[in-house]
Amino acid sequence: MKAHSKETQATMTPEKSLNYLKEGNLRFQNNLKANRNLLEQVNDTSDGQFPFATILSCIDSRVSAELVFDQGLGDIFSVRIAGNFVNEDILGSMEFACKLAGTKLIIVLGHTACGAVKGACDDAKLGNLTAMLAKIKPAVKAVTAPKDSSLRNSSNLEFVDNVSAKNVQLTIDRITKESTVLAEMQNSGEIMIMGAMYDINTGAVTFYQ
């Protein structure tokens, strides 16, 4: 499989880009890989890059977007931060990726048993981590069940995963609210912004339609 070129990127649509990721994750789940020569892709992309998707994911060592979607060099922009939230710098990176570099799809990828989400659920405090986890706490508050405070912590994995899903949704809301560039591109159909959840037990990605 060749690296994407300006010509192949031009043929991509948001829907086609999404299908590429879905197909890649199915290959990953079945321990299959597309036939690609990475060193050849190094050469193919030496004069430019033409990725089709931008993926915001957690820094978790088990959730490498290139691996779980079976993508090669030059295929995706990968933005990684604990808890997969956005700030001004990440929004600027996404605007570059879509408006200037031509990607057609933004995926906000959460994952099950997320350590950052667990920290937010437990109100953990440690150096700069304290301020970082504060970005995830709106999702903790937005998940209203269970009411029992003794069950609203990292030991309740169902609660943690519900908060992770809510965090993905709130992150997408922030993208469209705080970036007029990306909101306008989505409204015009130039890009699609979608949430997804990676299951660390199965390797499967569930996309939120």
Structural domain contains residue 47: yes
As a whole number, mean pLDDT of residues 26-43 equals: 91
Q: According to the model, what pLDDT value does residue 206 have?
A: 98
Q: For residue 151, how many other CB atoms are within 10 A of its CB?
A: 12
Tens of pLDDT, residue by residue over 173-186, are: 999 999 999 999 99
Tens of pLDDT, residue by residue over 100-132, are: 999 999 999 999 999 999 999 999 999 999 999
What's the mean pLDDT when you consider all of the chain? 96
Across the beta sheet with 105-111, the strand order is 76-80, 53-57, 105-111, 192-198, 205-208
Structural domain contains residue 148: no
Q: Regarding predicted confidence, which is higher, 176 or 3?
A: 176
What token pair was written down for 133? Answer: 């986890």
Structural domain contains residue 129: no
Q: For residue 37, how many other CB atoms are within 10 A of its CB?
A: 14
Q: How many domains does the chain have?
A: 1
Handedness of CA 61, 65, 66, 70 (dihedral sign): positive
Structural domain contains residue 141: no
In the chain, at which residue ranges do the beta strands (DSSP E only) sit? 53-57, 76-80, 105-111, 192-198, 205-208
Candidates 58, 62, 15; CA nearest to 167 is: 58
Phi, psi (rounded to 5 degrees) for 93? -65, -40
Q: According to the model, what pLDDT value does residue 125 have?
A: 95
Range of the domain at 178: 6-113+167-208
Structural domain contains residue 101: yes
Which CATH number goes with the domain that contains 182? 3.40.1050.10
Q: According to the model, what pLDDT value does residue 39 have?
A: 86
Tens of pLDDT, residue by residue over 50-104, are: 999 999 999 999 999 999 999 999 999 999 999 999 999 999 999 999 999 999 9
pLDDT over 80 (residue 209): no
As a whole number, mean pLDDT of residues 10-30 equals: 97
Structural domain contains residue 14: yes
Structural domain contains residue 70: yes
Structural domain contains residue 96: yes
